[in-house]
Amino acid sequence: MRKAVVLLPMVLALVLSCSRDGKAAASAGAEGPYPLSIMVMTISGEPMGDDSPVKKYIEEYTNTSLDIIWVPNTTYEDKMNITFASGDLPTIMVAPKKTSSVINAARNGAFWDITDYLKDYPNLSKANPQVLNNISIDGRVYGVYRARELGRNGISFRRDWLDRVGLDTPETIDDFYQMLRAFTYGDPDGNGKDDTYGMTVTKWTGPWDVMKMWFGAPNEWGEDSTGNLVADFETREYMDALKFFRKLYKEGLVNEDFAMMESSKWQEPYLSGKAGVVVDVADFSTTLQGEFETKLGFEEIVWDVVGSVEGDKGLHNLPFAGGYNGMLVITKNGAKTEEDMKKALAFLDKMNDYEMQIAMMYGLEGVHYTFDENGFYDVSTDKAVKAQYDSAAQMGMGIQGDFRYDPDQPIDRDELVLKRNAVYKSNLDIVVGDPCASFTSDTYAKKGAQLDKIIEDARVQFVVGLIDEAGFNDAVKQWRSQGGDDIKGEYNALYKQYK
């Protein structure tokens, strides 16, 4: 009976796809605002509503009438797959990753190939070719990427704790380890109780991925001594990293329940003063500092940030998702003709204008922000006011760079923000690219997610001591026999072709 869960949407899809054709005529209006539906994710429960003045401003500026479909970030991929199956696609939607369904959809002609159109638009023509290469599928570009700082990953830590235990800013992996130990056993909060630990990790595997880079492991794929690509978890360096993680876990330097912990609860141990280090995006430091100030009433800056720590193989870091976080694709179902597609592209282009970026980030002058006596943005902290542009930035792309990092912009920059921006910048020299980012493997498209899970689960099991090195190697063998070897072959062929 439960397969109805899967089947029902498909049947609905059939019914809906039959009834849809009559709808297209509505978009024929010549000069009026062009109707656009757009599906994006929201990380808050209350995204920008239809009566928001910010939305009206965006519509006026771009001469569109927007139907924004907000989808909670945590279920976005599920919703996207069901939307594909429904056959009733919005004009524009976020494709968050190059998953098998996105690749298949692109190959089957669900999205417009915009490779040759980008040059006609003032903002889009300035897109970074490297990132375009990363988002391409079979060498073609199907969307406009949402730009993110490439050097965004870093280590955020409690500066006041570090001072109290008498350590210096960590520079090597061993410094990092000593910091975690001191935070766990050295009473960093000075309350005389053994109630702290080093670092919080959650179900989400991001922090482990960042830390493995410190040990010199490749980013997803790397060359072995013969010049062939191997998966990162097949390397010696990866095993070194795993053993390090295992040591951290065994000594109680990370939370024992990390494999069960939802990432939505990630901030809690920091806010309750239980943990003092987080390995993730460097802006975790500024976010937490902000929370400490608004929720806990801290006045001084207690958080600090560094980019990476050095291991035997030098100083490395993981680039943030190839410099982008998903792309906005234009669907053929939503934009029926080339004309429609061009209008949608024009909308995306305009959304990259400076005025639109400001509106999505800060709302409207006089309503959502004013300028203070120093000429800095003074953003209203009123929840109801903020809700009027909440999550709007998810529609933003920032093709021309994020104006918030432009030093000439009137944004209040305290010491920590400047430090964080410096981390972004210095990371650019030490990030290691994924050589296969732009390649498409058929096997990976088919069963990549299952294969990834084998390794991810084995990694967690190794860290908590459920399996040993031989057990992990068995998982790698399993990965290889179930399709990993095929993926490797496909990537190697492409790699030699393009090298």
Partner 1 sequence: MSENDYCGHFPIGVSMATMSTAIETIDPMDLKTESGKRRIARMKKEKSLYILMIPGILYFVIFKYLPMWGLTIAFQNFQPILGFLKSEWVGMENFRDFFSSPDFFMIFRNTLVLSLLNIIFYFPMPIVLALLLNEVRQAAFKRAIQTIVYIPHFISIVVVASLTYVLFTTAGGAVNILMERLTGETINFLGSPRWFRPLIIGQTIWKETGYGTIIFLAALAGVDQNLYEAAAIDGAGRFKQLIHITLPSIANVIVILLILRMGQVLDNGFEQIFLMTNALNRNVAEVFNTYVYTVGITQGAFSYSTAVGLFKSVIGVILVLGTNGIAKKFGHSGLY
Residues that bind partner 1 (CB under 8 A): 1-8, 10-11, 13-14, 17, 77-78, 81-82, 84-87, 99-101, 104-105, 108-110, 203, 255-257, 259-260, 446-447, 449-450, 453, 456-457, 459-461, 464, 466, 478, 482
> Which residue, 11 or 296, is less far from partner 1 as judged by CB?
11
> Which residue, 181 or 446, is less far from partner 1 as judged by CB?
446
- Separation of alpha carbons 249 and 208, rounded Å: 12
Paired sense of beta strands 229-231 and 369-371, if any: unpaired
CB of 217 to partner 1, least distance (A): 19
CB of 242 to partner 1, least distance (A): 14
Paired sense of beta strands 229-231 and 221-223, if any: antiparallel
Tokens 């922090």 correspond to what residue? 207
CB of 100 to partner 1, least distance (A): 6
Q: Is 178 exposed, middle or buried (0-12, 13-18, 19+ CB in 10 A)?
A: middle
> Which residue, 309 or 460, is less far from partner 1 as judged by CB?
460
> Which residue, 12 or 432, is less far from partner 1 as judged by CB?
12
Paired sense of beta strands 369-371 and 275-281, if any: unpaired
CB of 47 to partner 1, least distance (A): 23
What is the layout of strands, in order, in the sheet containing 153-158? 197-199, 275-281, 153-158, 303-306
CB of 14 to partner 1, least distance (A): 6
Q: Is the dihedral of CA 418, 423, 424, 429 positive or negative?
A: positive
CA neighbor of 388 nearest in space, from 44, 31, 65 = 44
> Which residue, 180 or 306, is less far from partner 1 as judged by CB?
180
CB of 374 to partner 1, least distance (A): 44
CB of 142 to partner 1, least distance (A): 13
CA neighbor of 434 nearest in space, from 74, 80, 73, 98 = 98
CA 125 to chain centroid, in Å, comes to: 24
> Which residue, 89 or 399, is less far from partner 1 as judged by CB?
89
> Which residue, 342 or 446, is less far from partner 1 as judged by CB?
446
Tokens 């990370």 correspond to what residue? 254
CB of 486 to partner 1, least distance (A): 14
CB of 377 to partner 1, least distance (A): 39
> Which residue, 114 or 392, is less far from partner 1 as judged by CB?
114
* Cα separation of the two ends of the chain: 51
> Which residue, 258 or 389, is less far from partner 1 as judged by CB?
258
> Which residue, 378 or 457, is less far from partner 1 as judged by CB?
457
Estimate the crossing angle of helix 53-62 against helix 338-350, to 10 degrees: 120
> Which residue, 199 or 302, is less far from partner 1 as judged by CB?
199
- Separation of alpha carbons 177 and 180, rounded Å: 5
CB of 168 to partner 1, least distance (A): 30
CB of 426 to partner 1, least distance (A): 33
CA neighbor of 377 nearest in space, from 417, 349, 347 = 417
